[in-house]
């Protein structure tokens, strides 16, 4: 009979199993972890409101659960609730001052609100923690672009691709700045490289180069 029960359980969708476990969990610690895990499952399946609800429950049970704040912050960001995302990432940083990803993601939230100086400050900290963080250089480049500091943006995109030569998005964005500056050959090289790496480059851009090169 035990073997039959195990076989039946394996047929259940993962999320149903999590519902069952939540109903049977006997300790606060178990409940906290299961709410957090189920929240991640919801987030990955695109049910962000349900994910946020589960992260809320996990945090209510354990106000020091860093991963729940982090994941709720990501869910808030992906639903356009940038101020709430900033608040959650700030809590992560309070609990773990060396959390590089929290600085990077809070920088993204600030940038999405047009608060580029704050985002640059957070990317600076992420880079200080890990000088080989290609994403932080890329993201800081985007913030510099938003501030109109194009030379610094190019420098950061260049640093990103020096760390990660397969970073198609960084080549593409550097190419856009070269295009704005009418440095067509450099722009073409970057767009060509981005496309070769699988990053989508608009056909209109590639067609335009046929007219100027």
Fold of 98-150: 1.25.40
For residue 102, pLDDT over 50 is answered with yes
For residue 96, pLDDT over 90 is answered with yes
Torsion of CA 135, 140, 145, 147, to 10 degrees: 160
Closest to 124 in 3D by CA, of 112, 110, 114: 110
Task: Please check whether the two domains, 13-93 and 98-150, share a CATH topology.
Answer: yes
For residue 97, pLDDT over 80 is answered with yes
Mention the CATH class of domain 13-93. Answer: mainly alpha
Query: Could you tell me the pLDDT band of residue 175, with boundaries at 50, 70 and 90?
Result: very high
Query: Could you tell me the pLDDT band of residue 30, with boundaries at 50, 70 and 90?
Result: low
Which residue ranges make up each domain of the chain? 13-93, 98-150, 165-213
Cα–Cα dist 78/108, whole Å: 11
Q: What is the pLDDT of residue 154?
A: 98
Cα–Cα dist 79/48, whole Å: 7
Q: What is the pLDDT of residue 210?
A: 67
Query: Could you tell me the pLDDT band of residue 47, with boundaries at 50, 70 and 90?
Result: very high
Q: What is the pLDDT of residue 208?
A: 75
For residue 59, pLDDT over 60 is answered with yes
For residue 2, pLDDT over 50 is answered with no
Query: Could you tell me the pLDDT band of residue 18, with boundaries at 50, 70 and 90?
Result: very low
Residues 6+ apart with CB under 8 A from 213: 184, 185, 188
Query: Could you tell me the pLDDT band of residue 174, with boundaries at 50, 70 and 90?
Result: very high
Question: Bigger pLDDT: 116 or 26?
Answer: 116
What's the rounded mean pLDDT across residues 120-129? Answer: 98
């Amino acid at each position: 009979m035990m073997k039959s029960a195990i076989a039946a359980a394996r047929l259940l969708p993962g999320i149903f199993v999590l519902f069952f476990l939540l109903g049977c969990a006997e300790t606060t610690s178990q409940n906290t972890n299961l709410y957090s895990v189920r929240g991640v499952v919801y987030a990955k399946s695109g049910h962000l409101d349900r994910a946020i609800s589960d992260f809320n429950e996990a945090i209510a049970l354990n106000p020091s659960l860093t991963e729940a704040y982090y994941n709720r912050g990501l869910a808030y960001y992906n639903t356009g609730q940038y101020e709430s995302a900033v608040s959650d990432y700030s809590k992560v940083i309070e609990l773990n001052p060396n959390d590089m990803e929290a600085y990077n993601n809070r920088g993204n939230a600030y940038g999405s609100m047009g608060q580029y100086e704050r985002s640059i400050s957070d990317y600076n900290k992420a880079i200080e923690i890990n000088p080989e963080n290609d994403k932080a250089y890329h993201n800081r480049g985007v913030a510099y672009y938003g501030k109109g500091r194009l030379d610094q943006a190019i420098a950061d995109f260049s640093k990103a691709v020096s760390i990660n030569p397969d970073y198609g998005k960084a080549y593409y964005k550097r190419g856009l700045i070269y295009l704005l500056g009418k440095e067509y050959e450099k722009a073409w090289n970057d767009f060509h490289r981005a496309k070769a790496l699988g990053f989508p480059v608009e056909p209109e851009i590639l067609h335009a180069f046929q007219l100027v090169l």
